[in-house]
């Protein structure tokens, strides 16, 4: 049964006590302004004792008087509005502790009414709130307007953040930044997973996390803690798709013979170096004419994580092909010509244009019967992880105890991968698909069993 404190005497500031239930009631002047009464309960839902109820009533009375004065259309009202604006601008974020959050919620309606007065709008109007100070929409707009914040991310990341920000604004645009909770973000994340995909949901939360982190860095801070952390994010399942040697040997000659030599160049470079298509597009012939190709991948430029693949004859032959092509067009003079050249526009390929060319070549090759229908599942992205798989197979073939030492570290250096990414590709995505690996594991298991006196073949 809920405890009902005895009715105390000498109550003040609108505090009423009815049968053990404390309540703040507005004065006639406050009621005329539209301020309502509030039951005074603690964070657990129990009725407050006299001390807590008195403090809550004092706080509501103070805020009500503050806002009421700001509502006056007089010189004194103008002064009061100035004080109210400064108070709201320096209002600290929603407290994390239960007691502090309760105190804020007990005056939240009066704070919102004060904001409505300053913005000359009716309270709780969504359209107006979305443009109000320190809302989620205002945070996103301010993030993209911050030149320093933009300088820390690539143009591709910025573009992705803009795309994902639409989802965040659609859900939380009108909400004050410091009022967005972790449970709310968790639910939004799960809803996005269900509606779209794990991958898209992870991108959306990643962008939102960047916005909220930016907000914690401002002075005064928009909020204390980023609500996008510790959400129990899911891992997108691996594609489990990789290029076989047979795919490479059939597709690239077909591209060369059917007007898609640029696609052949790209696929070869990506399969034999592990480069992403965006980095392949940035590569010049001069970059690729040595024994190695030293570059900083676009995705890891922030960390200056360098890649250093060796260049074998499949790549050097494509470079030589491109040199011969340029020699046949004396009117074209490049100081540092790219490997990947868009024949339709006469310009260097970018990530989007080479993707479209690859997709067109893939569909045409399947339609011509040069490639099986299953080849439609292949992407340029798969070439990168295929390269990891091939490197691992190369390092672990033959006498694995001597040739496999330091394999993961050397693979990571080759493609500019983080070591944990190499682990993930091999463990979760592709290694389980290699029959050779399974067969070799079975051989090792049989050898171990024989040392234990268990004749595998005999059984």
Across 61-77, average pLDDT: 87
* Per-residue buried b or exposed e for 276-294, using 16+ beta carbons within 10 Å of the residue's own CB: bbbbbbbbbbebbeeeebe
CA distance 173 to 169: 4
Burial class (CB in 10 A: 0-12, 13-18, 19+), 260: buried
Averaged pLDDT, 74-97: 80
- In whole angstroms, what is the distance from residue 287 CA to residue 279 CA? 11
Kindly tell me if the per-residue pLDDT of 226 is higher than 50: yes
Give the whole-angstrom CA distance, residue 416 versus residue 278.
Answer: 14
For the cut 60, the answer to whether the pLDDT of residue 4 exceeds it is no
Sequence-separated (6 or more) residues with CB below 8 Å from residue 183: none
**125 pLDDT more than 50:** no
> Is-cis flag, bond preceding 220, omega within 30?
yes
Indicate left, alpha or beta for 289 from its phi (over 0: left) and psi (-120 to 50: alpha).
alpha
**pLDDT grade for 442, boundaries at 50, 70 and 90:** confident
| Residue 307 φ/ψ, nearest 5 degrees | -110, 145
pLDDT > 80? residue 82: yes
Q: What is the pLDDT of residues 27-67, one digit of tens each?
A: 888 888 888 888 888 888 889 888 888 898 899 999 889 88
Structure confidence at residue 293 as a pLDDT band (50, 70, 90): very high
pLDDT at 311 over 60: yes
Distance of alpha carbon 235 from alpha carbon 232, whole angstroms: 10
Residue whose structure tokens are 């320096």: 90
Q: What angle do CA 172, 178, 183 make, to 5 degrees?
A: 65
Q: Rounded to the nearest 10 degrees, how much is the dihedral formed by the CA atoms of 330, 334, 335, 341?
A: -140
Return the number of other C-beta atoms located less than 10 Å from residue 376's C-beta.
Answer: 13
Paired tokens of 40:
């005074």
Residue 377 or 397, more confident: 377
| pLDDT of the residue at 458 | 55
On the question of pLDDT at 179 being above 60, the answer is yes
What does the mean pLDDT of the chain come to? Answer: 83
Residues 341-361 have a mean pLDDT of 91
Q: What is the pLDDT of residue 117?
A: 82
Identify the pLDDT of residue 3.
56
- What global pTM score does this model have? 0.55
pLDDT at 433: 47
Q: Judge whether residue 130 has pLDDT over 70.
A: no
DSSP state of 292: B
Write down the pLDDT at residue 448: 78
The average pLDDT across 220-236 equals: 87
pLDDT > 70 in the chain, percent = 86
- Given this model, what pLDDT does residue 128 score? 40
Q: How far apart are CA 36 and CA 34, in angstroms?
A: 6
pLDDT at 5: 52
What is residue 254's predicted lDDT score, i.e. its pLDDT? Answer: 97
Q: What is the pLDDT of residues 390-437, one digit of tens each?
A: 888 787 765 444 454 577 888 888 888 777 777 777 765 545 545 555
Residue owning tokens 């004060």: 114
- Ranking 64-73, 80-89, 114-123, 197-206 by mean pLDDT, the lowest is 114-123
* Mean pLDDT within 63-81: 86
Q: Which of 248-262, 305-319, 384-398 has the lowest mean pLDDT?
A: 384-398
- 190 pLDDT above the threshold of 90: yes
| DSSP string over 97-110 | SHHHHHHHHHTHHH
The residue ranking higher by pLDDT, 283 or 452, is 283
> For residue 110, what pLDDT is reported?
86
151 and 143 Cβ atoms separated by less than 8 Å: no
Q: Return the ∠ at Cα 206 (arms to 202 and 207), rounded to 5°.
A: 120
Mean pLDDT of 441-459: 72
């Amino acid at each position: 049964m809920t405890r009902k404190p005895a009715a105390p005497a000498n109550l003040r500031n609108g505090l009423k006590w009815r049968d053990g239930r404390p309540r703040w009631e507005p004065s006639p002047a406050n009621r005329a302004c539209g301020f309502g009464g509030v039951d005074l309960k603690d964070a657990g839902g129990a009725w407050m004792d006299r001390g807590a109820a008195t403090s809550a009533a004092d706080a509501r009375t103070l805020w009500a008087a503050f806002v009421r004065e700001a509502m006056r259309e007089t010189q004194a009202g103008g002064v009061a509005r100035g004080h109210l604006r400064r108070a709201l601008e320096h209002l600290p974020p929603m407290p994390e502790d239960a007691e502090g959050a309760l105190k804020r919620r007990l005056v939240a309606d009066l704070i919102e009414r004060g904001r409505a007065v300053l913005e000359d709008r009716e309270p709780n109007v969504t359209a107006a709130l979305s443009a109000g100070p320190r809302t989620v929409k205002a945070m996103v707009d301010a993030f993209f307007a911050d030149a320093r914040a933009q300088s820390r991310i690539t143009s591709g990341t910025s573009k992705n953040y803009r795309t994902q920000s639409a989802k965040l604004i659609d859900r939380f645009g009108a909400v004050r930044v410091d009022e967005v909770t972790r449970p709310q973000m968790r639910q939004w994340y799960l809803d996005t997973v269900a509606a779209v995909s794990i991958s898209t949901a992870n991108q959306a939360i990643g962008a939102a996390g960047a916005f909220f982190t930016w907000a914690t860095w401002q002075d005064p801070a928009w909020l204390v803690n980023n609500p996008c952390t510790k959400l129990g994010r899911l891992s997108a399942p691996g594609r489990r798709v990789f290029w076989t040697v047979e795919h490479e040997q059939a597709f690239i000659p077909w591209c060369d013979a059917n007007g898609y030599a640029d696609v052949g160049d790209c696929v070869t470079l990506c399969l034999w170096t592990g480069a992403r298509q965006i980095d392949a597009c940035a590569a010049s012939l001069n970059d690729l004419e040595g024994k190695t190709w030293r570059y900083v991948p676009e995705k890891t430029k922030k960390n200056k994580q360098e890649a250093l693949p060796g260049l074998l004859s499949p790549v050097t032959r494509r470079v030589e092909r491109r040199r011969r092509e340029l020699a046949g067009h004396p009117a074209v003079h490049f100081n540092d010509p790219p490997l990947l050249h868009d024949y339709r526009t006469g310009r260097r390929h970018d990530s989007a244009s080479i993707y479209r060319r690859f997709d067109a070549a893939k569909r045409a090759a399947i339609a011509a019967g040069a490639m099986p229908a299953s080849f439609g599942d292949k992407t340029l992205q798969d070439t990168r992880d295929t390269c990891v798989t091939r490197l691992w197979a190369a390092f672990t073939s033959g006498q694995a105890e001597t040739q496999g030492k330091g394999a993961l570290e050397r693979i990571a250096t080759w493609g500019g991968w983080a070591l944990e990414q190499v682990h993930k590709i091999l463990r979760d995505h592709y290694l389980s698909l290699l029959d050779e690996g399974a067969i070799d594991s079975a051989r090792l298991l049989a050898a171990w069993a024989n040392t234990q006196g268990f004749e595998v073949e005999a059984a």
